[in-house]
A and B are shown apart, each in its own frame.
Chain A
Amino acid sequence: MKNLERRRVLRAMALAGTVAATGLLAGMTGAAMAQDRTSVKIGYAISKTGGNAGGAGITTLPNYKLWVKDVNDAGGLELPDGKKLPIEVIEYDDRSSAEEVVRAVERLATQDKVDFILVPWGTGFNLAVAPLFDRHGYPQLAVSAVTDKAPDFVKRWKKSFWMLGGGHDYANALASILADAKKAGTVNGKVAMISVADGFGIDLVTAARPAFKKAGIEVVYDKTYPGGTSDFSPMINEAKSSGADAFVAFSYPPETFALTQQAQVASFSPKILYLGVGTGFPVYGKNNGENATGIMSLGGIDPNNKMNAEYRKRHEAVTGVAPDYWGSVITYASLQMLQEAIKRKGLDKAAVSTELASGAFQTVLGETKFEDNQLRQLWWAGQWQNGQFVGVMPADRKGASKVILPRGDWKKK
């Protein structure tokens, strides 16, 4: 009898708790929205939870927030007639699920009827929503999507824009750095290479193998490892004894950090050290200090670009974290392009898309322009120099820094 009562009480409590919590939250957010145009509705679905939350939380979301704040602080989005309307944000969490991101974008387009949709994070999710953006006529400024197939996608979805290049671009840049170093006699032309068995690592390593071969670089060690690997000492030791004096890892952030630490422990100082995603995180430079110098990776910035420097400062002030050195600034630039296109053409999605495809825009990157709906003014390789991750490839681009090789030994702390 006692038991039964207790169970009933618990039941009632659980039910009441749920109802109360739901009601409370409903009251908190359920404010009525005005129907007439007093704002521009901008929506996005982003991975705030789940496996993609890390990447989205560094490269994408802070920049969305920063941009909205910047625009609204300046009075709102400017339209062709000079009127300014504040941005109203509709934000969904796709919970790192492909099905959910599709549904959320559909909801943004058909239920919320937003004026523009910002892209989700990641190659897969950008592709998953591309048919929807296309069907509902929204321009898609896909930033965090590295793909070699961008030229095909542009033909398929005319309003899609691809802003981070493809695996081949990065692999070719690295190959030419290695080839130049070999020609200069800095390295012996042998490279040890490891890669994570996941989208990014495989794309890059598949592009790198033929690129290295073409550049006359000999790959003496080539291994893939499963994502989440934490002990790299066997691989580092094998790479050390392989006779290579260049070490390349197409790795994800946790492994990039682990590799850096374990290479120091093993006193493995190859003349060229190239690591994957994460090298361009500000915290990487902070953690490794002097030792980061000379390490190379994807991305980079032009240290003398004042607008970019100012953007980095503002990003840190507003969001509390510094932006990464690869996708962040591109994300912000993509939003500035959208803003400028709206200023020129208004809220007509088709006109904005055409303007994006053909116009030239002043952004934090400098003058920015799409070629065949792709952004090609990118840094294909960068290197830590004097506490900054600077772009070194393409070497003939304005603002490129010179590669400094070989990188020295690890400094003991």
Chain B
Amino acid sequence: MSRKLLPAFVFALVVAALAYVPFIAGSYGITLGIGMLGYVTLATAWALFSGPTRYVSLATVAFFGIGAYTVAVFSESMVYPLLLAVAGVIGLAVALVVGLATLRLAGVYFVIFTFGLAELIRQLVTWYEVNVTGTLGRYIFLPVTPEGIYWQLLGLATTAFLISWWIGRSRIGLALKVIGDDEVVASHCGINIARVKLALFTVSSVLITLVGAIQAPRWTYVEPTIAFNPTVSFLTLIMALLGGANRLTGPLLGAVPLFMLFEWLSANFPNHYSIILGLVFIAIVFVLPRGVLAFAEENWRRWRKSGVKNLPAVAE
């Protein structure tokens, strides 16, 4: 019994400790925390769908941007909680449409499509703003403090983590793993592939949308190029892959160190950032192709002189 309760207790303790951080950390600490929690949530939500199914999605920023833009559009006409709800609903609707249309695609076609999706939505928003509203660039003046954003993101990260934990232990999680291993076998087992994939894609997308919605007030001003910055998609992907996308804590272990690394690099080597980052990425691909967690396990086993089980990488 206590063995079962211990992880839950530790988890609650960690969340409580993180919630206390704004009281002791300065404003720079909170800024760092916001960035980190944002990427932890993004990577966890991304891995929720892409980890087990091995559908590499580059649509992260499409949903992130939808969230940010929704807040910008309605910030003056709605109360804040409703704003988040509306953003979530719009993210859900888009995810359903996109999911229904595209989850039958596989492999590299899916990657290309999702990359195009972000661009498509950006152009649609631009077209709408140009031809209908006649303004591009919207202002967000919401009375949300950085501390408020931090706590909301913490809440969202916790939710994403719990959802990921629950799915890993449920029938749907098992179904996903089967789909990831072999879709033909999965359908022969009686798994409704399309429905399972759609459900996961939607949950993941709504979480990502909410990250965008919560972070948007920090920018004050939103225009499509700011909201739909493709870097977000790539960073999320590399973070999840570094940690190991098909494990519960993988994205977390990828997002936190990478975010700290980015921060350290941009603070200390603003002019060499891109070069070093490229080297780091190459190193990740060579040294940790299956993620930190798998690497640690592998070496642990090797050290214990037991057989090494080769785990398949997501990117393969």
Answer whether residue B183 sits at the interface, using C-beta atoms and an 8 A cutoff: no
Answer whether residue B192 sits at the interface, using C-beta atoms and an 8 A cutoff: no
CB neighbours of B287 from chain A (8 A): 11, 14-15
CB neighbours of B134 from chain A (8 A): 202, 206
Answer whether residue A131 sits at the interface, using C-beta atoms and an 8 A cutoff: yes
- A103 vs B32: C-alpha distance when bound (angstroms): 8
Among A10, A22, A91, the most chain B Cβ lie within 10 Å of the Cβ of A22
With known contacts A93-B266, A110-B26, A127-B220, A15–B226 Cβ distance under 8 A: no
Q: Are A127 and B221 in contact (CB under 8 A)?
A: yes
CB neighbours of B35 from chain A (8 A): 99, 103
Q: Are B266 and A21 in contact (CB under 8 A)?
A: no
Q: Are B28 and A111 in contact (CB under 8 A)?
A: yes
Q: Are A110 and B27 in contact (CB under 8 A)?
A: yes
- A111 vs B25: C-alpha distance when bound (angstroms): 12
Q: Which residue of A lies closest to B217 (CB)?
A: A131
CB neighbours of A202 from chain B (8 A): 129-130, 134-136
Chain B, residues 193-225, CB within 8 Å of chain A (1/0): the string is: 000000000000000000000010011111101
With known contacts A11-B286, A123-B221, A128-B219, A199–B229 Cβ distance under 8 A: no
Q: Are B27 and A106 in contact (CB under 8 A)?
A: yes
- A322 CB to closest chain B CB (Å) equals 24
Answer whether residue A48 sits at the interface, using C-beta atoms and an 8 A cutoff: yes
B126's partner among A15, A103, A111, A197 (CB-CB below 8 A) is A197
Q: Are A99 and B215 in contact (CB under 8 A)?
A: yes
Answer whether residue B2 sits at the interface, using C-beta atoms and an 8 A cutoff: no
Number of A interface residues in the complex (CB < 8 A): 49
CB neighbours of B127 from chain A (8 A): 197
- A48 vs B275: C-alpha distance when bound (angstroms): 14
- B72 CB to closest chain A CB (Å) equals 12
With known contacts A14-B286, A103-B35, A199–B26 Cβ distance under 8 A: no
CB neighbours of B286 from chain A (8 A): 10-11, 14-15
Answer whether residue A366 sits at the interface, using C-beta atoms and an 8 A cutoff: no
A91's partner among B136, B222, B270 (CB-CB below 8 A) is B270
Q: Are A128 and B220 in contact (CB under 8 A)?
A: yes
CB neighbours of A21 from chain B (8 A): 275-276, 279
Q: Give the segment of A25-33, A237-245, A300-308, A356-364 that binds chain B.
A: A25-33
Answer whether residue A203 sits at the interface, using C-beta atoms and an 8 A cutoff: yes
- B283 CB to closest chain A CB (Å) equals 4
Q: Which residue of A lies closest to B134 (CB)?
A: A206
CB neighbours of B229 from chain A (8 A): 96-98
Answer whether residue A226 sits at the interface, using C-beta atoms and an 8 A cutoff: yes
- B131 CB to closest chain A CB (Å) equals 8
- B160 CB to closest chain A CB (Å) equals 19
Chain B, residues 159-183, CB within 8 Å of chain A (1/0): the string is: 0000000000000000000000000
CB neighbours of A246 from chain B (8 A): none
Answer whether residue B274 sits at the interface, using C-beta atoms and an 8 A cutoff: yes
Q: Which residue of A lies closest to B140 (CB)?
A: A127
Answer whether residue A198 sits at the interface, using C-beta atoms and an 8 A cutoff: yes
CB neighbours of A206 from chain B (8 A): 134-135
Answer whether residue B272 sits at the interface, using C-beta atoms and an 8 A cutoff: yes
Contacts A14-B283, A92-B267 given; 6 further ones with Cβ under 8 A?
Answer: A48-B271, A95-B231, A107-B28, A124-B226, A206-B135, A224-B130
Where the two chains meet, the residues of A that have a C-beta atom closer than 8 Å to any C-beta of B are: 10-11, 14-15, 17-18, 21-22, 25-26, 29-30, 48-49, 51, 91-93, 95-100, 102-104, 106-107, 109-111, 123-124, 127-128, 130-131, 135, 149, 156, 197-199, 202-203, 206, 224, 226
